[in-house]
C-alpha cells in the first residue's frame, strides 16, 4: 500500500502522528493509498522551516524570484501527461479535464513571472515642503492555503504562486482526498530553483486546519471550500489576527433568453453542467429558460444529449465525465436526487443506479435532469456538486433575473442572448461576482481576479490578478525629509499641507 506523507524543508517526510486517511480510486472504490494526517507538532515543524527560509527569500530580488516561476512553468509543460494522470487517478476526472485544471494554475504562474512590475510601489516627489513620499510592498511573511479536492492542481497554484512570488514562504494544506499532485508540484518547485522551506505541503484534517488558523507565525490564510467552513476559517483567522480570503459555495444560474442560439446554449449547459461530473464551484447547476416555448425547446434538446453522455474511468480517453470523488459524495448526490423527486420536481433523466461493467463499485452517477424546479426546493437551494441540472422556468426576463439575485450564493452566472441591451442590463444589475455573456463558465483569466459575492466569498481581496499581489503583501508608506529641508525649532501643531 502506497503511503503519502508531507513535504517539509524541501523533501518528502513520513507522517508521525499515527493517523491516516484512505485515498480511493473513485472508478473502482478501492483504497489505493494511505495519506498521513498531521499533528499540531508536524504543522509547527513546517512553520519553523518556513520561518527560517523566508527572510533570505524575501531579500532575493524579484527578477530572481520570477526566474523560478519561468522554470516551473517549463517543468509543468514537460510533465503535463504525468501530472494529469496522477490527478485523475485520485480525483476521477478525465485526463483531458485534469490537464485543464493544471493549465489554469500554470497560467497564474505565468502571470506572477511579472512580479518585478506587479510588486512595484509608488513615489511622489515634493509631496510637501522638501518632503518625498513613497510606498513599498513587502511580504506578509508566512502564508497558508487550505484547498479543496475538486481542483488539486489549479487552486494550490492560484494560492502559492503569487504568495511565493511576493517573497513569502507558504504552507499548503491540500485535500486529503487527492493529495499526491500537490506534493509533486512542490517537488517541481524545488527542481525549478525554489529554496527548501519556502513551499511546504502538510496533509491533514481539521487538526491541521486549526493549527494553521491559530499559529502565531502565519500571517495570511487563503481557503476554498464550502460556505460553512469558509465562514469558520474566516472568523477564526480574523480572531487570531490573520488576513483571510475565503471562498465558499455556489449555485450558478444560466439564463436562456428566447432569442438565444439554442444549440449553443444546450452545448454550453452540457459542458458546464456535466463536465467533471459537476464537481466544480463554477458548474452551471440551474438553467433558467425565459418563456414556455424556450423552456420546452431547451428540455427537448437537452434530454437526448444527457442520455448519451459517455461516462467512464479516467483511463477511457473518450469519456465525457468520470465518477464522483468518494462514496460519501456518491451517497449525498443520490440522496439529493431522491429529495428532488419527493419535492415534486419532474425527473426527466435519472442518473441514479448507473453501473459501468467492470467498475460496479465505482462512484458513478449518471447525468440527471430535473424540470419544473421551484425556488423553495432543496435541490434548488443546495449546492449539489454532482451531475445534476435543474430547469427553473421563468415567465419573463425580470423573473429570470430575480432568481440569482435572491439566491444566497453569488459566485458565477451566465446569460445566453443575441440582445446587447439585455446582456448589458444583466451585467450591470446582477449581484454576482463573475458574469458570462454567452460564456457558460466565466472564470477570469489569470490577470483578472476570481471571486464571488454574497455567501460565496469572505474577505475583500480576490484570488489571482492584482488582488492576489495586494493580499500577499503589506503596504509600507515612507515620508522622508532631509536636514536641508527641516526648519529650526519644534512644531507643536498637526502637520498639514496648508
Active site residues: 281
- Say how far apart CA 243 and CA 143 lie, in whole Å: 9
For residue 420, what are the contacts with CB-CB under 8 A and spacing of at least 6? none
Helix H or strand E segment including 380:
helix 378-381
Which residues, in sequence order, are bridge partners of residue 497?
Answer: none
407 vs 411: CA distance, rounded Å: 10
Q: Which residues contact 27 (CB under 8 A, 6 or more apart)?
A: 92, 312, 313, 314, 315, 322, 323, 359, 362, 363, 364
Q: Tell me the C-alpha distance between 7 and 203, whole Å.
A: 9
Whether the Cβ atoms of residue 175 and residue 23 lie closer than 8 Å to each other: no
Contacts of 435 (CB under 8 A, 6+ apart): 412, 413, 414, 415, 426, 427, 442
**DSSP code, position 418:** S
Cα separation, 17 vs 7, in Å, equals 15
Distance of CA 147 to the CA centre of its chain: 7
Q: Which residues on adjacent β-strands are paired with residue 7?
A: 12, 201
Grid cell 494553521 — which residue?
212
Amino acid at each position: 500500500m502506497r503511503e503519502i506523507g508531507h513535504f517539509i524543508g524541501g523533501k518528502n517526510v513520513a507522517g508521525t502522528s499515527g493517523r491516516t486517511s484512505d485515498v480511493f480510486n473513485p472508478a473502482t472504490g478501492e483504497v489505493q493509498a494511505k495519506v498521513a494526517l498531521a499533528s499540531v507538532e508536524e504543522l509547527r515543524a513546517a512553520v519553523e522551516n518556513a520561518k527560517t527560509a523566508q527572510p533570505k527569500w524575501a531579500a532575493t530580488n524579484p527578477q530572481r524570484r520570477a526566474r523560478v516561476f519561468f522554470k516551473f512553468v517549463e517543468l509543468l509543460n514537460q510533465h503535463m501527461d504525468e501530472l494529469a494522470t496522477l490527478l485523475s487517478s485520485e480525483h476521477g476526472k478525465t485526463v483531458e479535464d485534469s490537464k485543464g485544471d493544471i493549465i489554469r494554475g500554470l497560467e497564474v504562474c505565468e502571470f506572477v513571472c511579472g512580479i518585478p512590475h506587479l510588486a512595484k510601489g509608488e513615489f511622489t516627489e515634493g509631496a510637501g515642503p522638501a518632503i518625498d513620499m513613497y510606498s513599498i510592498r513587502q511580504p506578509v511573511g508566512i502564508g497558508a492555503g487550505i484547498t479543496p479536492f475538486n481542483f488539486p492542481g489549479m487552486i494550490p497554484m492560484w494560492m502559492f504562486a503569487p504568495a511565493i512570488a511576493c517573497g513569502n514562504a507558504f504552507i499548503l494544506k491540500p485535500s486529503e482526498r487527492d493529495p499526491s499532485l500537490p506534493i509533486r508540484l512542490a517537488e517541481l518547485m524545488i527542481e525549478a530553483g525554489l529554496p527548501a522551506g519556502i513551499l511546504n505541503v502538510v496533509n491533514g484534517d481539521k487538526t491541521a486546519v486549526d493549527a494553521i488558523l491559530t499559529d502565531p507565525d502565519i500571517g495570511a490564510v487563503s481557503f476554498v471550500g464550502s460556505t460553512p467552513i469558509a465562514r469558520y476559517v474566516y472568523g477564526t483567522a480574523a480572531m487570531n489576527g490573520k488576513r483571510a480570503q475565503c471562498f465558499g459555495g455556489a449555485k450558478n444560474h444560466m439564463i436562456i433568453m428566447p432569442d438565444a442560439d439554442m444549440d449553443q446554449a444546450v452545448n454550453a449547459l452540457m459542458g458546464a453542467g456535466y463536465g467533471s461530473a459537476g464537481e466544480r464551484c463554477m458548474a452551471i447547476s440551474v438553467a433558467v429558460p425565459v418563456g414556455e416555448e424556450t423552456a420546452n425547446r431547451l428540455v427537448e434538446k437537452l434530454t437526448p444529449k444527457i442520455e448519451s453522455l459517455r461516462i467512464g474511468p479516467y483511463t477511457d480517453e473518450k469519456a465525457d465525465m468520470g465518477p464522483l470523488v468518494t462514496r460519501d459524495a456518491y451517497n449525498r448526490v443520490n440522496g439529493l436526487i431522491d429529495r428532488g423527486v419527493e419535492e415534486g420536481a419532474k425527473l426527466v433523466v435519472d442518473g441514479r443506479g448507473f453501473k459501468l461493467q467492470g467498475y460496479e463499485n465505482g462512484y458513478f452517477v449518471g447525468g440527471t435532469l430535473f424540470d419544473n424546479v421551484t425556488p423553495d426546493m432543496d435541490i434548488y437551494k443546495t449546492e449539489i456538486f454532482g451531475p445534476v441540472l435543474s430547469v427553473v422556468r421563468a415567465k419573463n426576463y425580470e423573473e429570470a433575473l430575480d432568481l440569482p439575485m435572491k439566491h444566497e450564493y453569488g459566485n458565477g452566472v451566465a446569460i445566453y442572448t443575441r440582445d446587447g441591451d439585455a446582456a448589458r442590463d444583466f451585467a450591470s444589475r446582477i449581484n454576482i461576482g463573475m458574469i458570462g455573456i454567452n460564456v457558460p463558465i466565466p472564470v477570469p483569466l489569470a490577470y483578472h481576479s476570481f471571486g464571488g459575492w454574497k455567501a460565496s466569498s469572505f474577505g475583500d481581496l480576490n484570488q489571482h490578478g492584482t488582488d492576489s499581489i495586494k493580499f500577499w503583501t503589506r503596504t509600507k508608506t515612507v515620508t522622508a525629509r532631509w536636514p536641508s529641508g527641516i526648519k529650526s525649532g519644534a512644531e507643536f501643531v498637526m502637520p498639514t499641507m496648508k
